[in-house]
Amino acid sequence: MSNKRIALVGNPNSGKTTFFNAITGANQHVGNWPGVTVEKKEGRCSYKGVEYDVVDLPGIYSLGAFSEDEVVAMDYVLSDDADVYINVIEASNIERNLYLTTQLLEMGKNLVIALNMVDEAERRSIKFDLEKLSKKLGVPVVATIANKEIGTDAVIKEAVKAAARPHIYENPLTYSENVLHHIQHMEEVLANKELPYPAKWTAIKIVEGDTHIIGRIEDSGVDQEVLDGIKEFHRFHSSDNFELEIVDSRYAFAHRLAEETVLRPKEEVTTLTDKIDRILINKYLGIPIFGLIMLVVFQLTFAIGEDLLGGIAVFLIEGLGSLLESFLIWTRSPDWLVSFMIDGVINGVGAVVEFVPLITVMYLLLSFLEDSGYMARAAYVWDNLMRSFGMQGKAFISMIIGFGCTVPAIMSARTMDNKKDRMVTMLIAPFMSCGAKLPIYSVFIAAFFPRHGGLVLFSLYAFGIIVGLLMAKLFNKTLFKGESSYFIMELPPYRVPSMKSVLRNMWMQVSDFITRAGTVIFLVVTIMWLMAVLPGSADPYSQQSFLGKLGTLLVPIFKPAGFGTWQESVALFAGIPAKEAVVGTLGMLYAGQYLEEGAILVNAVKQNFTALTAMAYMVMVLLYTPCVATLSTIGKETKSIRWPLMMAVYTFAIGWLVAVLVFQIGSLLGFA
Amino acid sequence: MLKEVLARIQSDGFLSKALLARELSVTEPMIEDAIGQLIRMGYMQEEESGADCITSCTGCAFATMCHKKLVTMYQLTQRGKKLLA
């Protein structure tokens, strides 16, 4: 006579394998389940001189057909190979583990519960009423500490007893009236038919719509009447939610059972993340704290990136320029080449590269916040405010991405299924100040607000968010009406940022900035240089050059905003291909103009702007027409030329209007 | 519990799993399981923040800036919305 068989079943990390090792000792062997790569562990244990075969089933959370492990476990349980099942449950996590238990009970399996790792639960002050739990489940429950072999013998004793007595099918679950009605109806259809599984359980699985089980029933050669009954049922109830109701009944049972038999400490164990979150994502403090953190980020950006390291970059670029100029003169290079290399490349592209330390520090700090888990909270704390503007908190993630670059921010709107949310997010993304605008602000801040760099920068970023939200409200009231979607989000725990990850993230942004300086910015500055030195009959960098003439045409548009010289106007024009080119073009044009005086860009800006016009210029840069890459992305995403055109025009209008308001109101208040 | 999870998401908007677990008086792993079941049954879907392009990232100048996964988000599907209607 072959040995009786015991199967171990339980959730991953329930200590099931430790339990298996404890009861089988060295008496075990490992193989694979047939046809799959899932490990199969078998062994033997003995009780009162009788040997029992033991099989360790894969760790699973539920009996379904959704993973290889689940299929193996499900098929084993369906095969009815074992005489008794030991369901190993992790005591500290009993509620979750009981879901699988309810499924085993539903199947009518001969069960013994090993409530494992009770010592860990005790350390967390979790107590159990084992007697009540056993009574409610209708099966023996034994407390165990498998790694110390405590309670394992008692479990085997109960398993042996259970294997010896005749098993009576009892399903302790209660279903909703509607579901129960259909289960009973299905039982009638199945009555007196040859079935591979118990009729009651088969009826439940048919009503639940378990395709794996229904497939098995169909393949088992059952009566055609049964197959017709199953088809008929699903034809009539295809839009019902019986599966959800049945799964919910199992959760309700597990939850109720845990409530009645588990005593948890009143004071829940609060993690460090919980404690930090109580403050950082507090309903009232969340946004002010976010503002404060960003203000510190911008202050540090200027203190380190500009005041401490900025001079080094300027020294290197200027030194390189002097060396290059001497070399070109020494090699008797033509004047146009000297002009191009010094005015175009060094003063144009170099003016952008000088801001690498600033960009590096800012992205280092933002990457630090991101890796610490804080940035994920930003979307959370902004949700309520975003909703009052007709947006969802998720849109704030696109906005945060927009602080780096607008193109991925627009593409991230793709993840929104709702057209209204997607369109509004795309249309307001350009108001989030991207990294390319940082060099422009830095020049003006260095010239006019050197002591308040962080505060001015913070104000610009905050103003961009405010304009974006106001426009969102406007779009929601006019162009896009409709409901928002709903989300649940998983916030990662706070952690000490990994330097490797922070540096990698920072380098991604910085390398992109440098690459753009060497490619797009170089190209734009080259075109601007050509337009500034041609035609040959005009003085280079003069109003008679092609660029001067174009700038002169634009001057009347910007005059009301206070920055009405052709150089300032044409630099904004150059910013449409790429925003960094504003600084590059100003650097090139002012260098051509002030070269003899040896003035650097900041000094040139000081001579051509006032604090008020500088502020108006920065606001214009913040809000006006986004770069070509952004417009092209909008075109691709909306599959239309209408939206990028509309965006180009409306953002320009907003930028111009606000810049004019800043200048005019400032002038009236006497700041001119 | 499953319907309650869906309903809370619809009424409260952004929620953390921990907060949802506290509000429904269940453990966080239960909420994780419930969300897994709701996704499997087609009432919710998982979404990722960050860009999601149909075009290949190869050669895209913005490839390095995309694929940032700040948070994992779950959204109600049409079926989920219909259930609550």
Is B43–A375 a contact, with Cβ atoms under 8 angstroms apart?
no
Residue of A99, A251, A394 with shortest CB distance to B73: A394
For residue range A83-119, what is the model confidence (pLDDT) as tens digits?
A: 889 999 998 888 889 999 998 888 888 899 999 988 8
Is A248–B1 a contact, with Cβ atoms under 8 angstroms apart?
yes
> How many angstroms separate the CA of residue B2 from the nearest CA in chain A?
6
Domain coordinates in residue numbering, chain A: 4-164, 177-263, 287-485+498-668
Per-residue confidence (pLDDT) for residue A595, from 0 to 100: 47
Instruction: Say how far apart CA B37 and CA B77 lie, in whole Å.
Output: 13
Q: Could you give the angle at the alpha carbon of A320 between the alpha carbons of A315 and A324, nearest 5°?
A: 150
Quick one: pLDDT band at residue A142, thresholds 50, 70, 90? Answer: very high
- Calculate the alpha carbon distances from A417 to A239, A253, A293, A487 in Å: 23, 35, 32, 11
For residue range A539-559, what is the model confidence (pLDDT) as tens digits?
A: 777 888 898 898 888 899 999
DSSP reduced 3-state for A47: strand
> How many angstroms separate the CA of residue A152 from the nearest CA in chain B?
26
Is A629–B66 a contact, with Cβ atoms under 8 angstroms apart?
no
Assess contact for A82 and A6: CB atoms under 8 A: yes
Assess contact for A474 and B60: CB atoms under 8 A: no
Least confident window among A55-69, A74-88, A476-490: A476-490
Instruction: Give the residue on B whose Cα is nearest the Cα of A246.
Output: B2
Tally of CB atoms within 10 A around A293: 15
Q: Could you give the angle at the alpha carbon of A414 between the alpha carbons of A409 and A417, nearest 5°?
A: 135
Q: What is the mean pLDDT of residues A274-281?
A: 83
Q: Residue holding tokens 């052709």?
A: A566
For A52-62, b where at least 16 C-beta lie within 10 A, e where not — what string?
Answer: bbbbbbbbbbb
For residue range B24-82, what is the model confidence (pLDDT) as tens digits?
A: 888 888 888 888 888 888 888 876 554 555 555 555 555 555 555 556 677 788 888 88
- Calculate the alpha carbon distances from B40 to A111, A233, A242, A415, B45 in Å: 28, 22, 14, 19, 8
Is B15–A255 a contact, with Cβ atoms under 8 angstroms apart?
no
Assess contact for A449 and A592: CB atoms under 8 A: no
Q: Could you report how far apart the first and last alpha carbons of chain A are, in Å?
A: 104
A628 CB near a chain B CB, below 8 Å?
no
Q: Is A164 exposed, middle or buried (0-12, 13-18, 19+ CB in 10 A)?
A: exposed
Per-residue confidence (pLDDT) for residue A596, from 0 to 100: 42
Q: What is the mean pLDDT of residues A291-296?
A: 89
Q: What percent of chain A has pLDDT over 70?
A: 91
- Name the B residues in 26-85 with CB < 8 Å from any A CB: 26-27, 29-30, 33-38, 40-41, 43-44, 47-53, 61-62, 64-66, 68, 70-76, 83
Q: What is the pTM of this model?
A: 0.60
Per-residue confidence (pLDDT) for residue A428, from 0 to 100: 92
Residue numbers in A near B14 (CB within 8 A): 379-380, 383, 392-394, 487-489
Instruction: Say how far apart CA A77 and CA A309 lie, in whole Å.
Output: 68
Is A387–B37 a contact, with Cβ atoms under 8 angstroms apart?
no
Quick one: pLDDT band at residue A460, thresholds 50, 70, 90? Answer: very high
For residue range A297-320, what is the model confidence (pLDDT) as tens digits?
A: 888 887 888 777 877 877 888 788
- Name the A residues in 266-325 with CB < 8 Å from any B CB: 268, 274, 277
Instruction: Say how far apart CA A429 and CA A404 lie, in whole Å.
Output: 11
Confidence check: pLDDT of A487 > 60: no
A401 CB near a chain B CB, below 8 Å?
yes
Residue of B1, B3, B9 with shortest CB distance to A488: B9
Size of interface A-B (CB pairs under 8 A): 165
> How many angstroms separate the CA of residue A460 from the nearest CA in chain B?
23
Residue numbers in B near A274 (CB within 8 A): 18
For residue range A248-271, what is the model confidence (pLDDT) as tens digits?
A: 899 989 988 988 988 877 655 566
Tally of CB atoms within 10 A around B10: 16
Per-residue confidence (pLDDT) for residue A339, from 0 to 100: 79
Instruction: Give the residue on B whose Cα is nearest the Cα of A374.
Output: B70
Instruction: Say how far apart CA A273 and CA A276 lie, in whole Å.
Output: 5
- Name the A residues in 6-65 with CB < 8 Å from any B CB: 61-62, 64
Is B70–A370 a contact, with Cβ atoms under 8 angstroms apart?
yes
Instruction: Say how far apart CA A431 and CA A435 lie, in whole Å.
Output: 12
- Name the A residues in 368-387 with CB < 8 Å from any B CB: 370, 375-376, 379-380, 383-384, 387
DSSP reduced 3-state for A496: coil
* Ramachandran sector of residue A49 (left: φ over 0; alpha: ψ -120 to 50; beta: rest): left
Instruction: Give the residue on B whose Cα is nearest the Cα of A399.
Output: B50
Tokens, residue A156 = 């085997």
Torsion from C-alpha of A432, A435, A436, A439, nearest 10 degrees: 110
CATH class entry, domain A4-164: alpha beta
> How many angstroms separate the CA of residue B51 from the nearest CA in chain A?
4
Assess contact for B79 and B39: CB atoms under 8 A: no
Per-residue confidence (pLDDT) for residue A532, from 0 to 100: 80
Instruction: Say how far apart CA A472 and CA A506 lie, in whole Å.
Output: 30
Instruction: Say how far apart CA A468 and CA A651 lie, in whole Å.
Output: 11
* Ramachandran sector of residue A2 (left: φ over 0; alpha: ψ -120 to 50; beta: rest): beta
ipTM: 0.78
Is B66–A509 a contact, with Cβ atoms under 8 angstroms apart?
no
Instruction: Say how far apart CA A369 and CA A388 lie, in whole Å.
Output: 26
Per-residue confidence (pLDDT) for residue A62, from 0 to 100: 83
Residue of A248, A392, A490 with shortest CB distance to B72: A490
Assess contact for A87 and A100: CB atoms under 8 A: yes
Per-residue confidence (pLDDT) for residue A467, from 0 to 100: 95
Instruction: Say how far apart CA A599 and CA A596 lie, in whole Å.
Output: 8
- Calculate the alpha carbon distances from A170 to A109, A207, A302 in Å: 9, 19, 72
**Pairing mode of beta strands A111-116, A127-128:** unpaired
For residue range A35-57, what is the model confidence (pLDDT) as tens digits?
A: 655 667 888 888 888 888 888 88
Is A401–B65 a contact, with Cβ atoms under 8 angstroms apart?
yes
Is B71–A491 a contact, with Cβ atoms under 8 angstroms apart?
yes
CATH fold of the domain at B2-84: Arc Repressor Mutant, subunit A (1.10.10)
Per-residue confidence (pLDDT) for residue A416, from 0 to 100: 65
DSSP reduced 3-state for B1: coil
Q: Which of the pair, A404 or A653, is modelled with greater confidence? A: A653
Tokens, residue A386 = 């975003």
Question: Was domain A177-263 assigned CATH 1.10.287.1770?
Answer: yes
Instruction: Give the residue on B whose Cα is nearest the Cα of A257.
Output: B26
Q: Which of A421, A414, A497 is nearest to B49 (CA)?
A: A414
- Name the A residues in 87-116 with CB < 8 Å from any B CB: 93, 95-96, 99
Instruction: Say how far apart CA A254 and CA A101 lie, in whole Å.
Output: 8
Assess contact for A532 and A551: CB atoms under 8 A: no
Residue of A66, A370, A485 with shortest CB distance to B40: A66
Can the peptide bond before residue A577 be classed as cis, meaning omega within 30 degrees of 0? no
Is B71–A490 a contact, with Cβ atoms under 8 angstroms apart?
yes
DSSP reduced 3-state for B77: coil
Per-residue confidence (pLDDT) for residue B4, from 0 to 100: 87
Q: Which of the pair, A216 or A415, is modelled with greater confidence? A: A216
- For every residue of A83-112, DSSP letters joined together read SEEEEEEEGGGHHHHHHHHHHHHHTT--EE
Assess contact for A3 and A51: CB atoms under 8 A: yes
- Calculate the alpha carbon distances from A635 to A192, A631, A643 in Å: 65, 6, 7
Please list, in sequence order, all residues whose beta carbon lies within 8 angstroms of the beta carbon of residue A391, skipping any fewer than 6 positions away: A421, A424, A425, A469, A472, A476, A484
DSSP A3: P
Q: Determine the residue type at A646.
A: M
Tokens, residue B15 = 């929620």
Tokens, residue A85 = 């099942």
Is B26–A492 a contact, with Cβ atoms under 8 angstroms apart?
no
Domain coordinates in residue numbering, chain B: 2-84
Ranges assigned E (strand) in A109-265: 111-116, 127-128, 141-144, 262-263
